[in-house]
Amino acid sequence: MQAIGVDIGGTKIAAGVVSEDGEVLAHTRRDTDATQPAAIEQAVVDAVAELRNEHEVGAVGVAAAGFVSPRRDRVLFAPNIAWRDHPLRDRLAADIDLPIVIENDANAAGWAEFRFGCGRDVEHMVMMTVGTGLGGAVIVDGHLLRGAFGAAGEIGHLRVVPDGHYCGCGHEGCWEMYASGRALTRAARASLITDADRTGALVELAGGPGHKVKGPHVTDAAQEGDPLSTELLADLGRWVGEGAASLAAVLDPEMIVIGGGVGSAGPLLLEPARRGFLAQLSARGHRPAARIELAELGNEAGVVGAADLART
Amino acid sequence: MQAIGVDIGGTKIAAGVVSEDGEVLAHTRRDTDATQPAAIEQAVVDAVAELRNEHEVGAVGVAAAGFVSPRRDRVLFAPNIAWRDHPLRDRLAADIDLPIVIENDANAAGWAEFRFGCGRDVEHMVMMTVGTGLGGAVIVDGHLLRGAFGAAGEIGHLRVVPDGHYCGCGHEGCWEMYASGRALTRAARASLITDADRTGALVELAGGPGHKVKGPHVTDAAQEGDPLSTELLADLGRWVGEGAASLAAVLDPEMIVIGGGVGSAGPLLLEPARRGFLAQLSARGHRPAARIELAELGNEAGVVGAADLART
Amino acid sequence: MQAIGVDIGGTKIAAGVVSEDGEVLAHTRRDTDATQPAAIEQAVVDAVAELRNEHEVGAVGVAAAGFVSPRRDRVLFAPNIAWRDHPLRDRLAADIDLPIVIENDANAAGWAEFRFGCGRDVEHMVMMTVGTGLGGAVIVDGHLLRGAFGAAGEIGHLRVVPDGHYCGCGHEGCWEMYASGRALTRAARASLITDADRTGALVELAGGPGHKVKGPHVTDAAQEGDPLSTELLADLGRWVGEGAASLAAVLDPEMIVIGGGVGSAGPLLLEPARRGFLAQLSARGHRPAARIELAELGNEAGVVGAADLART
Amino acid sequence: MQAIGVDIGGTKIAAGVVSEDGEVLAHTRRDTDATQPAAIEQAVVDAVAELRNEHEVGAVGVAAAGFVSPRRDRVLFAPNIAWRDHPLRDRLAADIDLPIVIENDANAAGWAEFRFGCGRDVEHMVMMTVGTGLGGAVIVDGHLLRGAFGAAGEIGHLRVVPDGHYCGCGHEGCWEMYASGRALTRAARASLITDADRTGALVELAGGPGHKVKGPHVTDAAQEGDPLSTELLADLGRWVGEGAASLAAVLDPEMIVIGGGVGSAGPLLLEPARRGFLAQLSARGHRPAARIELAELGNEAGVVGAADLART
């Protein structure tokens, strides 16, 4: 059965028809305004209608950032859209006569990676979505871990430094503050002050100092061989890996997949992450160590995973 | 079907016949010497034989501290007994003509609590066994989480303080070093130096200063109202709760159960743990918070859980 | 000999004629614009001229935030004004025919407290100026510690949390990020998220949520008995005291004086600071412990200290 | 005037006649037993008498580990000898008819380095004695900083990691636990567990695993090129340097001198220390940075410094 996956982001909606083996057969997009929840719902309805014109589908999966109820019908809380205990499924169902499920966006991306990406041969997997923030998905015995209240997999809020950096969630020291694009941007800007004479390449790429410098400039500069940027990515990778060792203590996965925008740094991030992981893995040598790999699916992971979860 | 549960500890073996509803119908014990692995196996065989004289049983579950293979047949590594990738099930099967499974001891205790104790009405639960060390068991959707390699639930090795106290595992800052009987003992001894004029009650109970002071003295003194000991337990409870908030970010359980010897401190530990948990729980107010409860089953949890897991 | 003290702040200049026993005999003020360094110098010249109309003075001391050269003639770096290795003394001397010295503002305030305030009877003292940031002054054997390059006493940049909050200086975990008005503001705003149901009094005083909430609202609310605000101040005080214990290990002062705007919280800050200090003081019981006291001089400490240092 | 310096260690006493320019003209030694305070005093008396047979001296300086009263007459507390508020000067004066002063041993060594070693041309200096523990001496404007109660310079008890490793002083996270021979030993032993396959060279040098491995083996192995040992020393050096940056914020010295047994690792320790220092130095680029150098005087620094302080 083909299904439609919809991925609601902060500025746009991506939607696609997804085959049973994870292929995206058709796409569409809509620009959205996060301050207009009703318009977002309408855009989802429109996108689904457009895709159904040409394709036979049996279900719709909708992914969004936020906590989703265990029954997959309500958005309990969304950080970027004004949804609070919002009956998103019922609202969409009024205009879409197909089974609909709502999913957390990181869970959708992780599920895609598990079903069709580099996790396709494992049964226990953790996906780390290292984007602006740090999202996660946990696969246990081939099932997506949703938790008692739908909030499982919020790995970015594992505390890694007591009294550490403030997170948007109001707490200090969340992993997300050390292993995300936001962390990379912040570290790069700090180095403008503390390590000014080594920031030439970075500032040139950014087109100026200060707030012009952002995480992607670090990745670009590192890929061109800039030593400081390479160190900044390595430090980020170390935090990714060290935190992953804590996850491994609890979950004992076979594979940890690194995706998200920062994951595009490739080996510059992956190798330090692997080293950090092994350096902190408890009982290394007395147990097999999880493999850490880069995600194989790109930006479409959310669409693919949402569609596939709608079939299950 | 009745089953036998065996709990192999450092100095003794406890075994019992357990009914389908978790009742212990008969007990036996053997003293053991952790340096004599062969003698331990013989003691297990003897204990099982003794119990079978009077009771009809259909399976045997054996719990031991250490990593157990996912197929529940081998002990990969045991911290206290010289078992390394040891085929314990086959060794016992040579003398016991019943189905046998090997389980991690903390998993067995957590499973008992989930099936017959305070977790009996939930589907997602974490058990924290706060004993000399800190063990754990994770129940997901009604199933025990074993992980890809049998090592899931080793929550004591979550890193909570970078560059923090050394753990027996060789790493720094493991949660076990802050939330265990060992942590309580260490903190109490430090207070003999830093807070000497407030340690009178503690020293009197311990029968002397220095290495005579141990965790249980703190619990006893706190229960008699000693302010310093109450603070020490509260600090331990805070670490229990704050770490549990990290677990909740990943696992989103409905209930977190505190057992183990230190759990006997009761509300003196539980209330600070609850406060620490809520203080650090990400997105509190936007999601239901897990309940934190004291374990209901006592020392027999390992026997009960091992027996019950042998039936599944 | 009477002297003039001038205290250059971010938005205004305060100046006064100070007697030999620290009394302020006359005042004047000028509003200033930190983006206009030349205008600031002119304002200093004008203020000095005005005061000299009515008073006989023999020297001028000028205090400013920033690093000052050991010879007390140049501002090496100022965080708020565009002075970089700036010959401030010579610039002023062109228009003022009196001996002039330039001093760091926290040093000036600490010196005033040492000479005429609560440190008047001690020889070893540390002043902590807990304002928006955290400044310091160290008095050793009755002398102001300037250091080899004029930068001593920058206690706010002692690192207290590795990988902790980012400081304006570009580093992580500076003490200033935990023991300052800025820290109080940040903690208060975080509690709006993590502890929303207890922030009613604070929000009411602030006239609204979010960025309206500032450190002084916490102090006001605490003084009216608000429990959350009292906790926030106590936490700040704990950081003040614990860091002071590190200073005591190095400097072994007889007295530590807490001044600055946050110091106005009085016992709500002082008592937790004292507890934190004693709790972390190494070798307590085997050495006398420094007393921690509130500053006695108010806003005029900078003027008084600058004037007095100009006489020495 | 020539003077005698005496350095009381845990197992032996070193004494020497020291010229005005810091030359040791004669030596003697006595083995001692730290559990016999009276015998230690007698050994000091004997050593002084022996040296005076052949040399004209005008004063005696006695260095010992511990807190010394500001009047340099009493040992307030000694960690290794059972002296508590002990009138050591008067006890010795009964048998030695020369002016006697008592000094802290790290202060004596630092003073020697300041007067005759690599600090001879500076006025503001910090000495770090990286031995089994971490001692310090602070020179301010050419004077030894003793503090209000004689306890200044205890830099090893600066807290660098909240909730970090326990120190013998009863507190957690003291710098000494991260930057000392004890730290090196502990880190090396941990790597036997966490990094077993890289510890071959270390174990071979130590003549076995476990408690046979000690700090000096790491230094030896690193000097022979062992990668793991080199990393362990680099990590230690990083902690030395990062902590020194905190000291620089407070004291602004011109030079930081690294001595003590671990200092013998030379560049393997020094270079990482310099990097760590610069990486964490607040306002680097806006102020001159202190130089970090290795001590020039060896084991005799305590004797030389004690003698020289007796002349002042």
> Does C77 have pLDDT greater than 90?
no
φ/ψ (deg, to 5) at B134:
-130, 110
In this predicted structure, the answer to whether residue B44 has a pLDDT above a threshold of 90 is yes
Interval C287-310: pLDDT, tens: 899 999 999 998 899 999 999 999
Task: Tell me the per-residue pLDDT of B207-220, one tens digit each, with 9 for 90 and over.
Answer: 998 899 999 999 99
Burial, B291: exposed, middle or buried (Cβ in 10 Å; 0-12, 13-18, 19+)? middle
Q: Does one domain contain both B132 and B237?
A: yes
B28: left (phi over 0), alpha (psi -120 to 50) or beta: beta
Q: pLDDT band at residue B35, thresholds of 50, 70 and 90?
A: confident
Domain count, chain D: 2
Q: Chain B partners of C285 at a C-beta cutoff of 8 Å? A: 196-197
* Contact across the interface for A170 and C193, Cβ inside 8 Å: yes
Which pLDDT score, from 0 to 100, does residue D160 have?
A: 98
Q: How far apart are CA B15 and CA B8, in angstroms?
A: 9
- Residue at A184 is within a domain: yes
D17 alpha-carbon distance from chain centroid: 21
Domain containing residue B40: CATH number: 3.30.420.40
Q: Is C268 on the interface with D (CB under 8 A)?
A: no
- Provide the token pair at A104: 């957390």
CA–chain centroid gap for B44, Å, is 21
Are A66 and A74 spatial neighbours (Cβ–Cβ below 8 Å)? no
In a domain, B117, yes or no: no
- Say what the pLDDT of residue D286 is: 85
Residue B78 has pLDDT above 90, yes or no: no
Q: How far apart are CA C280 and CA C195, in angstroms?
A: 28
Best mutation target among A128, A159, A238 (most B Cβ atoms within 10 Å) is A159
Distances (CA, A) of C10 to C32, C35, C82, C150: 7, 9, 11, 21
Q: Same domain for A242 and A172?
A: yes
Please give the pLDDT value at position B79: 82
Instruction: Kindly report the nearest CA distance between residue A115 and chain C, in angstroms.
Output: 36
A249/D contact by beta carbon, under 8 A:
no
Is there a single domain that holds both residue D85 and residue D187?
Answer: no
Q: CB contact, 8 Å: B165 with chain D?
A: yes
- The residue type found at A235 is D
- The closest CB to that of B186, out of D166, D171, D193, belongs to D166
**pLDDT of res. D124:** 98
% of chain A exceeding 70 in pLDDT = 100
Whether residue B171 and residue D178 make contact (CB cut-off 8 A), yes or no, is no
Residue B279 to residue C194, Cβ atoms within 8 A: yes
pLDDT at residue B195 in the model = 93
* Nearest-Cα residue of chain D relative to residue C69: D287
At residue B77 the predicted structure's pLDDT band, cuts being 50, 70 and 90, is confident
Q: Lowest-confidence range among A183-197, B69-83, C157-171?
A: B69-83
With CB atoms and an 8 Å threshold, state whether A279 touches D194: yes
Of D195, D279, D285, Cβ closest to residue A196: D285
CB contact D162 to A (< 8 Å) = yes
Average of per-residue pLDDT values in chain B: 95
Q: What are the C-alpha distances in Å from A17 to residues A48, A296, C32, C111, C128?
A: 9, 19, 64, 74, 64
At A247, is the pLDDT very low, low, confident or very high (cuts 50, 70, 90)?
Answer: very high
Same domain, D289 and D305: no
Residue D32, pLDDT above cutoff 90: no
Q: Are residues D186 and D168 in the same domain?
A: yes
Rounded average pLDDT over D227-245: 98
Structure tokens at C294: 């509130």
The answer to whether residue D117 is domain-embedded is no
D305 and D284 within one domain:
no
Mean predicted lDDT score pLDDT of chain D: 95
Beta carbons within 10 angstroms of residue C297's beta carbon: 21
Find where tokens 């990400």 sit: B282
pLDDT tens, position by position, C106-121: 999 999 999 999 999 9
Task: Report the residue of C194, C232, C278, C286 to disrupt the B interface, i.e. the one with the largest count of B CBs within 10 Å.
Answer: C194
Query: Quick one: how far is CA C104 from the chain centroid?
Result: 10
Out of D77, D146, D288, closest to residue C286 by CB: D77
Same domain (yes/no): C179, C245: yes
Report pLDDT digits (tens) over B225-238: 999 999 999 999 99
CB environment D177-196: b (16+ within 10 A), e (fewer):
bbbbbbbbbbbbbbbbbbbe
Whether B240 and B287 map to the same domain: the answer is yes
Q: What is the pLDDT of residues A204-228, one digit of tens each?
A: 999 998 899 999 999 999 999 999 9
Residue B48 has pLDDT above 90, yes or no: yes
**Could you tell me the two tokens for B266?**
């009761």
- pLDDT tens-digit readout, C123-156: 999 999 999 999 999 999 999 999 999 999 999 9
Contact B190 D171 (CB under 8 A): yes
Same domain, A138 and A272: yes
- The pLDDT score that the predictor gives to residue A82 is 84
Contact D66, D83 (CB under 8 A): yes
Cβ burial, residue C31 (10 Å; 0-12/13-18/19+): exposed
**Which residues 23-82 in chain C show a CB within 8 A of chain D?**
67, 76-77
CA torsion, ordered B270, B276, B280, B285, to nearest 10 deg: 60
Per-residue pLDDT, averaged over D4-13, amounts to: 93
For D170, the closest chain B residue by CA position comes to B190
pLDDT bracket for residue B279 (50, 70, 90): very high
Q: Is residue B139 domain-shared with residue B89, that is, in the same domain?
A: no
What domain range is A172 assigned to?
122-296
According to the model, what pLDDT value does residue A14 have? 97
One domain for residues B18 and B162:
no
pLDDT value of residue D206: 95
Residue D212 lies in a domain: yes
Q: Encoding tokens for residue D260?
A: 């003590």
Pair (C130, C84) in one structural domain: no
Say which DSSP state D76 is in: E
Q: Is B194 on the interface with D (CB under 8 A)?
A: yes
Residues in chain A closer than 8 A to B140 (CB atoms): 140, 145
Mean pLDDT of D269-278: 98
Task: Please indicate if any CB of chain D lies within 8 Å of the CB of A196.
Answer: yes
pLDDT tens column, B183-216: 999 999 999 999 999 999 999 999 998 899 999 9
D233 close to D222: Cβ distance less than 8 angstroms = yes
Interchain CB contact of B286 with C (< 8 Å):
no
- Tens of pLDDT, residues D192-215: 999 999 999 999 999 998 899 999
Residue C264: CA count within 13 A, CB half-sphere? 14
How does the average pLDDT of chain C come out, rounded?
Answer: 95
* Chain D residues 137-156 within an 8 A CB cutoff of chain C: 138, 140-141, 143, 145-156
Distance CA B76, CA B92 (A): 16
Residue C33 pLDDT more than 90? no
Residue C128 in domain: yes
Query: Is residue A192 very low, low, confident or very high in pLDDT (cuts 50, 70, 90)?
Result: very high
Q: Which of C307, C136, C239 is nearest to D252 (CA)?
A: C136
User: Residue A157: inside a domain, yes or no?
Assistant: yes
- Are A138 and B250 within 8 A, CB to CB? yes
Other chains touching A, judged by 3 or more CB pairs under 8 Å: B, C, D
Question: How many angstroms separate the most distant Cα atoms in chain C?
Answer: 61
Residue D197 domain-assigned (yes or no): yes
**Has residue A116 got a pLDDT over 90?**
yes
Q: Which pLDDT belongs to residue B272?
A: 98
Q: Is C257 on the interface with D (CB under 8 A)?
A: no
Residue A286 maps to a domain: yes
Contacts of A165 in chain C (CB under 8 A): 163-166, 172
φ, ψ (nearest 5 deg) of residue D300: -85, 0
